[in-house]
Structure 1
Amino acid sequence: MEHIPTILFLLSTLLFAISVEAPPSPLFPDEALPTKSGYLPVKPAPGSSMFYTFYEAQKPTFPLSDTPLLVWLQGGPGCSSMIGNFYELGPWRVVSHATELERNPGAWNRLFGLIFLDNPIGVGFSIAASKEDIPINQRQVAEHLYAALVVFLEQNSGFEHRPVYFTGESYAGKYVPAIGYYILKEKPNGKVNLKGLAIGNGLTDPVTQVQTHAVNVYYSGLVNAKQRVELEKAQEIALALVKSQKWREAGDARNELLTLLSNMTGLATLYNTARSIPYRSDLVVDLLNQREARRVLGVSETMSFDECTDEVEDALHEDVMKSVKFMVDYAVERTKVLLYQGMLDLRDGVVSTEEWMKTMNWSGLGMFLTAERRVWMDGDGVIAGYVQRWGNLCHVAVSGAGHFVPTDQAVNSRDMIEGWVLGKGLFGVDDVKQPISSKLYHSI
C-alpha cells in the first residue's frame, strides 16, 4: 500500500509530460493551404484538365471583385508551376528541407490573387487524356490556357471583372506572349480582363538570344578567345538549322551549345553564376510526392509528381527555336509588358533579352531605347537593380538574382511586380514624363 502514492505520482508525471508535448507539426500548416486547388477542364481536349492552386490576396487594397489576379506559368518546356509555387513566389516555400514549409517574406499574393497553372496539360499534376492532346505549338498552348482560365473565372462568383496579369519565366517567355496575343487578337471582348504580361528570364526570340552566349561569357571573363570562337561556331550550327527549318535538330544544337558552355565555364549551374550548387527545386519534388501533400491539394494519392515531364518536352521540342517576338510586338501596342531578368543568369539573362528587344517592331521602340535607365534601390538603400521604361514597356535587370528571380530576391521581386501592376515608382506611368501630344502616347 505504501507504494501506491509513488506509483500514482510517476503515472501523473508521465501523463502530464505526454499531455504538454506538442504534437508533430502537419506538413501544411492551415495558413499554408491554398484558398482553392483542383482541376480545370480543357475543352479543346476532352478528358484533359489543368491542375491549379489559387491563393487569395493576403492584404488586398481593393474590393476583391477589383483585386488583380496574377497567373503564373512555369517554363521547361514541360515543367510544373508548382516549382514557382513552392520554391519561388508562393506564400510558403521549401527552402532547405522538403518536409518543412517556411513562410515566404516576398510572396506575390500580398496584394493580389495568385493562381499557379500546371501548363501545358500533361505537366505536373495536370492530365492529358492522350499523348495526341499535348500541345505542339503556342497556338494550342494558348487555347488550352484560355479555356482553363475561363472555367476558373466562371467557377468563382465575382471574379469575372478582376484584372488579369499573365506572368512566368524561362520557356514561359513563349507561353505568356502566346496567351496574351490570343486574347488581344481573338478574344478582346472575352471573359478574361487582360491587363498585362510579365516575363522573367524568358526564352522569347531564340535565334537572337542564342547568338549572345559567346560574347556574353567572353566579356564576363568566363571563357578565353579560343573558347569564344568555338562557342560561336556552335551558335552558327543552330542558326543554320533554323534557316533550313530543321526545327528539332536546331533544338538539339542549342542543347549542345549550352552543354559546351557549361563544360567550358565549370559553373555549378548556368542559371546563376554565383551558386556553388544548382537550385534545389528537387525539394518540391520530394514535398509533392508525400501522401499528405497530394491529399491537401486535392490530387489522387496514386499520382506521382515530376518536376518536368519528358512527354511534354518532346511534344514541344520542334517549337524550341521558333520565335514569338511578333506576339510581344502585338501585345505591347495594346497592353503593358514587363521583361525582367536576374543579372546572374547565363542562359536567358539580361544580354539575351536586350538583344531581341532592340529588334522589336513597336512604335515606341525609339523612345524606349533612349529612355533613361534608372537605378532601383531597395528599402534598405541597397541597389536592387536597374529599370528602363517607356510607354507600355518596362525592362528590369535584377541585381543578385539568377534564373529564379523570386527565389534569389524574394522581397525585391514582390516589390517589382507590385510596383508594375499598380503603376507606382520606377515601374509606373507617373515616373517618366511623356508628351501628351506625342504619337506614342496616342498609340497605346
Structure 2
Amino acid sequence: MKSTLPQNFLKLLLILPFLHHLPPISSTTSTPLLPNEALPAKSGYLRVNSTTNSSIFYAFYEAQTPNSPLSQTPLLIWLQGGPGCSSMVGNFYELGPWRVSHKQNVEHIMLEPNSGSWNRLFGLLFLDNPIGVGFSIASTPEEIPRNQHTVAKHLFAAITSFVALDSSFKSRPIYFTGESYAGKYVPAIGYYILKKNSQLPASKRVNLAGVAIGNGLTDPITQVATHAVNAYFSGLINEKQKTQLEKLQSEAVVLTKNGSWTKASDARNGLLDLLQTMTGLATLYDFRRLIPYETSFVATFLQHPDVKKSLGVNESMVYEECSDVVGTALHEDVMKSVKYMVEYLVKNSKVLLYQGQCDLRDGVVSTEAWVKKMKWEGIGKFMEAERKVWRVNGELAGYVQKWGSLSHAVVLGAGHLVPTDQAVNSQAMIEDWVLERGVFANEQLEKLSLDFHGVI
C-alpha cells in the first residue's frame, strides 16, 4: 500500500496555525467522543481503482425503525457538494443520526441525537466523494476526477463494492441524494448507472430507484443568469446594482457558450463575490443568517484520534472539510451542464428537486429557470400541475409541485443546507417522496383511488 503520509503531513502544516482558533475537544470527559450508539453500522474504504490505493471513505447507518424487511428497505446515498467538500459535513451537521454540537457555555464539542435524521426508515450511506475529499484517498493527484464521467465511474465502483458487503443490499432500492455541487454528482452517477445497467446481466445491475437534488448547481449557464433578478426582487439590491450584475452574468454566459471553462468559472465566482459585497450578507447560502453555517466544528471533531480510530481511519490522515486540490481539479467542470442527464433520469427513474427558500446561490429561482427548459415529454404537464401547500405535523412546511416522475419541493425557513435548517421537515420530505405519500403521492393512483371511493 502506497503511503499518503507526505500529503497529509503537508495538510497538517497548513492548518496548524489556525487550530488555536477552534474550540477545544475535551478528552477528560468520561463519555467517549463517538459513543457506541453513535457509531456507523459499517465504515471504511471502498476501492475505486484495482491497481492503486485510491479509495472512497464511507459511513453507513442502518434504518432505525424500518417499515419493511431489510432486504426491501431503501438505501439513501448522500453526496456533498463543493466541489471538494466532505460528506461527513452532511453526516454530522445535517442529516445523519448524530450531530456535532457546540454551545457557548460548553468548552467541548459533543454529539447530540438528530430527531430529523434520514435513516429513521431507510439505510443511509455517506460517501466522501470524489477521491481526495475528506477521509477518501487519492493515490496520486492525477487520479482526482476532472469531469463528471470520472466522478461517476469511481462512484459506480464504490457502490458495487458496498453492495457486495452484504447479500441483503443487492435487492434494496437505491436512491442517490445530495446538495449543491452534488447537483452534478447525483445526475452523473444516476445517468452512469442507467447506461451501465443496460450492458450488464440482471445479477450485476445497481438497483437505482431515484435521485434527489437539494439546492443544486445542475445547469450553470441558466442558473448564473438568475442572481440579479432574484436579489432585486428580494429587496437586497437596487436597479443600478441589478444592471451591474446582469452585465457580469452575460459575460459568464458568453464564456460558457464559447467553452472557455476556466474563465467562465472565474466569472461566476466574481459575480457571486460582488453580490455578497453589494448585499453585505454574512453568507449567500442563507440571507437570514447573521453568521455563516458553523461547519468547521465537524472538522474539529473529526481531527480527534479517537474519532478517526472509531471510524476506521488512519490517525495520520488530516481531515479537511473541503479540499482545495479537488476543487481546483474540477474548476473547469463548474460551468458544464448536466441537464441532459436529469432529462434521461426523469424518463427512466424518478427525480426530486428541492431547495431551501432562503438560498441566494442555488435556490428556487435558479432551479425553476432550468427546469422549464427540460427536454422531456412531460414538462408541459408538470408546469401546469398544481403547486400544493405542504404541511408537516399540521404546520406549513413549504410547497410541492409534482407530475409523473418529477417532484419539486420548496422548503420554507431553510437555506442552502436544508436538513440543518429544517431537520424534521426534510426527513418528512425524503420519506414521503421515497414512499410516495401525501403531497408526493402518485397523482394517477390518487385519482383512481378517489374515483373508486366515489363509486362506493
Question: What TM-score, normalized by structure 2, do the two folds share?
Answer: 0.89
Compare 186-195 and 164-173 and name the one that shifted more.
186-195
Aligned pair 1:158/2:168, yes or no? yes
Aligned pair 1:338/2:344, yes or no? no
Aligned pair 1:57/2:63, yes or no? yes
Alpha-carbon distance in 2 for matches of 1:151, 1:323: 29
> Any idea what SS the aligned residue of 2:348 has?
coil
Partner in structure 2 of residue 378 of structure 1? 392
> Any idea what SS the aligned residue of 2:432 has?
helix
Letter in 2 for 1:169: E
Letter in 2 for 1:225: E
Aligned pair 1:115/2:129, yes or no? no
Q: Extract unaligned runs of 5+ from structure 1.
A: 1-21, 437-444
* 2:403–2:443 Cα contact (<8 Å) kept: no
Tell me how large the CA RMSD over aligned residues is: 1.5
Alpha-carbon distance in 1 for matches of 2:447, 2:361: 34
Partner in structure 1 of residue 49 of structure 2? 43
Letter in 1 for 2:413: G
Match of 1:131 among 133, 141, 146: 141
> Any idea what SS the aligned residue of 1:124 has?
coil
* 2:109–2:301 Cα contact (<8 Å) kept: yes
Alpha-carbon distance in 2 for matches of 1:368, 1:46: 46
Deviations for 1:372-396, whole angstroms, at most 9, x for unmatched residues? 00001120x2210000000000000
* 1:45–1:129 Cα contact (<8 Å) kept: no
Alpha-carbon distance in 1 for matches of 2:205, 2:299: 34
> Any idea what SS the aligned residue of 2:353 has?
strand
Q: 1:156 to 1:386 in 2, by over 3 A?
A: same
The Cα shift of 1:406 comes to 0.1
The Cα shift of 1:29 comes to 1.9
Compare 190-199 and 347-356 and name the one that shifted more.
190-199
Q: 1:427 to 1:45 in 2, by over 3 A?
A: farther
The Cα shift of 1:433 comes to 5.0
Letter in 1 for 2:207: N
> Any idea what SS the aligned residue of 2:161 has?
helix
Deviations for 1:154-205, whole angstroms, at most 9, x for unmatched residues? 0112211110000000000000000111111222444310000000000000
Alpha-carbon distance in 1 for matches of 2:255, 2:50: 32
Alpha-carbon distance in 1 for matches of 2:434, 2:335: 30
Identity %, equivalent residues: 62
* 1:333–1:392 Cα contact (<8 Å) kept: yes
* 1:336–1:393 Cα contact (<8 Å) kept: yes
Aligned pair 1:184/2:194, yes or no? yes
Compare 37-46 and 364-373 and name the one that shifted more.
37-46
Work out the number of aligned pairs and report it.
414
Alpha-carbon distance in 2 for matches of 1:81, 1:31: 20
Deviations for 1:21-47, whole angstroms, at most 9, x for unmatched residues? x96211112111110100000036732
Q: How does 1:161-176 map to 2 (within 5 A)?
A: 161-176=171-186
Question: What TM-score, normalized by structure 1, do the two folds share?
Answer: 0.91
> Any idea what SS the aligned residue of 1:159 has?
helix
Higher Rg of the two aligned structures: 1
Letter in 2 for 1:37: S
Letter in 2 for 1:172: A
Compare 68-77 and 26-35 and name the one that shifted more.
26-35
Q: How does 1:327-366 map to 2 (within 5 A)?
A: 327-366=341-380
* 1:342–1:401 Cα contact (<8 Å) kept: yes
Deviations for 1:110-165, whole angstroms, at most 9, x for unmatched residues? 00000000000000000011111011100000000000000011011221111000
Q: Extract unaligned runs of 5+ from structure 2.
A: 1-27, 450-456
> Any idea what SS the aligned residue of 2:213 has?
strand
Alpha-carbon distance in 1 for matches of 2:183, 2:257: 22
Letter in 1 for 2:396: I
The Cα shift of 1:430 comes to 4.8
The Cα shift of 1:431 comes to 7.6
